[in-house]
Structure 1
Amino acid sequence: MHVLILTTNEDAPFMNQQIAALERLGVSFTVQSVAGETGPAQSRNPLEYLKFFPTVFRESLNGYDLIHAHYGLTAPMALAQFRQPIVLSLWGTDIYGPGEPVSRFCAPFCDEVVVMSEEMRRDLGRDCTVIPDGVNLEQFEPIPQERARERVGWHEDGYDVLFPYSPDREVKNHPRAKRIVRSVDEQIEESVRLRAVHGVDHDEVIHYMNAADALLLTSRSEGSPNSVKEAMACNVPVVSVDVGDVADQLEGVSPSTVATSDRELVDGLRDVLERGERSNGREAAAKISVERTAARMLEIYRRVV
């Protein structure tokens, strides 16, 4: 089976991990990405998306079995050709951000729609398949915290709370994370630091995960945040707002907290830090390994073809 991938971000780690796992199952891929630079404060202009239409149309003539459109803004290009069936994967911000109208309009015309959480399926309001992005259990695993701290250069006494996003990404709500950590720092004797880590190679993220005492997620919206699953795979406690599928992923994981208010976030983070224990998250993460989620995606490919 040969699949044409359309994406707005050809470097997305979770997408590339899924592609690699599907390749091990015998699927081959060609990836086409929308041209143009993006960043926390920079978006592509409409002309760059319009230029992607003829690129996709020409490439679709090359004998593919199906087109897999990753992210809602690539769906119109996939639909502009009439030869191959279409699988649309929605990532979260394409349902909860400015691209929502495009995603909602295109979804009914695709042969299969895949979302990352039950919340996304409810909010989309149509029949679709829930497949959270898988976590690579070989890449993310527990390593001794002191060794990880030495690797990333965290030498101060006290606690380190990981915020694995750029503070400039408004949807991740860095100001709230700062507020929560500041409150906990005022309540306990040891110092508590918020570590915003971004722009590092994905292979290095495991060291920051294992160096941290907890991961803090304060996002305004999410689909199925990979950072939570990567922390689980490393047995790092997670303190998170109730967003996306976090509550489902953290069911039975301890110590960890899913909160609906600042007070619950503060209490949960303080409890996790004072307990000083690693979680049992890796056991729960096994059910969302990249191999399992890739096998489910292959079932969809076969059904569509």
Structure 2
Amino acid sequence: MDFSKLKILYVYSSQGISARTHLVTTQGKSIAKTGATVEYYDIPGVGMWNYVSHIGKLRKFAKEGNYDLIHAQFGYSGFTASFAGIRPLIVSLMGSDYRLERMASRLTRLFARLFWDCTIVKSQKMFNNLKIKDAKIIPNGINFKRFKPIDREIARRQAGFSSSAHVLWVSDPQRKEKNFALARESFSFIETEDVELTIVNNVEIDKVPSYYYAADVLLLTSRWEGSPNVIKEAMACSLPIVSTDVGDVADITKEVDGCFIVESDPEEIANAIDTALLYGKRTNGRDKVKHMDVEFISERLLEVYKNVLKEHTKK
């Protein structure tokens, strides 16, 4: 298929969170390298009425754009695109769609069966939980070129780190599913001296790699995830990891020394942090996640696009 003539619309809801926009545009830019045209429609704000209010706007936007394919990112964006009547429609369900309320979960399965030409989930756990027949498991990719190695002393100066050991916690502490309270409580049990818990939130994208290379451990305390990019980014920077058993984290970090999967117990987390700090060196994580480079993920997505378009032309 000649992808240079393909025109794709990515529909998503940023909710004012820059990381969500970055996730979507990183994938879109990689797809665009094949010659395809990728454009974006953001449904800003939060709340159900916000999604409803964009049904007509999205329908008009898509009609005027004359797109060959619509790829909605996040479940509620998929609902909006469905009501807008735009096809063919692919929907990627993210970590925020993993633990939907019972009614929303039922709606997701119904829409996947009736309106979505293909559904993508991010991990085997999501597939098992959502129970959507024929869903494709394709995690989000990361831009490996952005996370190329940086000398640690240079990285520490760029991040403004002190001489202390630094444990990174990368997210917005206000997001309840990220469970920052657990991270904070865990630190009261750490035995290693001179350790700082460093929150990385709303940092410019190009500065984030310096934090990974400057830090000693990444800590993830989420209640649920799909396929958290923060883990893949830390792995690409060979940073030791302590994480709750969410999404595909256990699979990604499997057989990587210096990475520890823990229960949501503050004392167990503290012990794992102490052990990770004692490990005292970088991991071989970068080699383990090379297959998650966004360019490899794009190849898998393009195969999905090709198959969906092929089936759509038969109808």
SS of the residue 2:181 aligns to:
helix
- What SS is found at the alignment partner of 1:96? coil
- Correspondent of 1:170 among 173, 176, 179: 176
Change beyond 3 A, Cα 1:83–1:218: closer
Match of 1:56 among 46, 55, 58: 58
Corresponding position: 1:234 with 2:241:
no
| Pairing partner for 1:26 from 24, 31, 35 | 35
TM-score normalised by structure 2 residue count: 0.89
| AA in 1 matched with 2:10 | I
Aligned AA for 2:184?
K
Q: 1:83 to 1:220 in 2, by over 3 A?
A: closer
SS of corresponding position for 1:257 = strand
AA aligned opposite 2:23: F
Q: Post-superposition shift, 1:35?
A: 3.3
Could you tell me how far 1:97 is from its partner in structure 2? 4.1
2:313 paired residue number = none
1:75 paired to 2:72 = no
- Picking from 207, 211, 214, the partner of 1:211 is 214
Larger displacement relative to structure 2 (242-251 or 145-154): 145-154
Q: Where does the alignment leave 5 or more consecutive residues of structure 1 unmatched?
A: 37-43
Aligned match of 1:40:
none
Is the aligned partner of 1:89 residue 2:74?
no
Closer, same or farther: CA 83–236 of 1 in aligned 2, 3 Å: closer
Kindly indicate which of the two structures has a greater share of residues assigned to helix.
Answer: 2
Seq. identity, %? 34
Q: Could you tell me whether the CA contact under 8 Å between 2:95 and 2:228 is conserved in 1?
A: no
CA distance in 1, matches of 2:80, 2:69: 13
2:97 maps to amino acid? D
Distance in 2 between residues matched to 1:83 and 1:19, nearest whole Å = 19
**SS of equivalent to 1:77:** helix
Q: How does 1:27-42 map to 2 (within 5 A)?
A: 27-36=36-45
Name whichever of 171-180 and 97-106 sits farther off.
Answer: 97-106
- What residue in structure 2 maps to residue 303 of structure 1? 307
Q: Matches of 2:308 and 2:48 in 1, distance apart?
A: 30
From 228, 231, 234, the equivalent of 1:225 is: 228
- TM-score, reference length from structure 1: 0.91
2:159 aligned residue? 152
CA–CA distance in structure 2, aligned partners of residues 236 and 170 of structure 1: 25
Q: Which of 267, 287, 300 does residue 291 from structure 2 map onto?
A: 287
CA distance in 1, matches of 2:264, 2:176: 19
Alpha-carbon distance between aligned partners in 2 of 1:100 and 1:171, rounded to the nearest angstrom: 17
Alignment pair present for 1:130 and 2:130: no
Question: Residue 257 of structure 1: CA displacement?
Answer: 0.5
Q: Which residue matches 1:118?
A: 124
Q: Give the Cα separation in 1 of the matches to 2:109 and 2:271.
A: 38
* Alignment match of 2:147 (pick from 140, 144, 150): 140
Tell me if 1:269 matches 2:273. yes
* Deviations 1:137-194 (CA, angstroms, capped at 9, x unpaired): 1001231222111111112x3311000112111111111111222211xx22x31111
Amino acid paired to 2:145: E
Tell me, in whole angstroms, the C-alpha distance in 1 between the residues paired with 2:86 and 2:222: 39
1:64 shift after superposition: 1.2
Please point out which of 12, 16, 35 is paired with 1:7: 12
Matches of 2:98 and 2:108, distance apart in 1 = 7
Task: Report the 3-state secondary structure (helix = DSSP H, G, I; strand = E; otherwise coil) of the residue aligned with 2:72.
Answer: strand
Paired amino acid for 1:239: V
Contact 1:70 1:91 in 2 (8 A): yes
Q: CA deviation at 1:100?
A: 4.2
Give the gaps of 5 or more residues in structure 2.
Answer: 1-5, 310-315
Which moves more between the two structures, 226-235 or 264-273? Answer: 264-273
**Residues 35 and 52, structure 1, Cα contact 8 Å, conserved in 2:** no
The one-letter amino acid paired with 2:270 is V
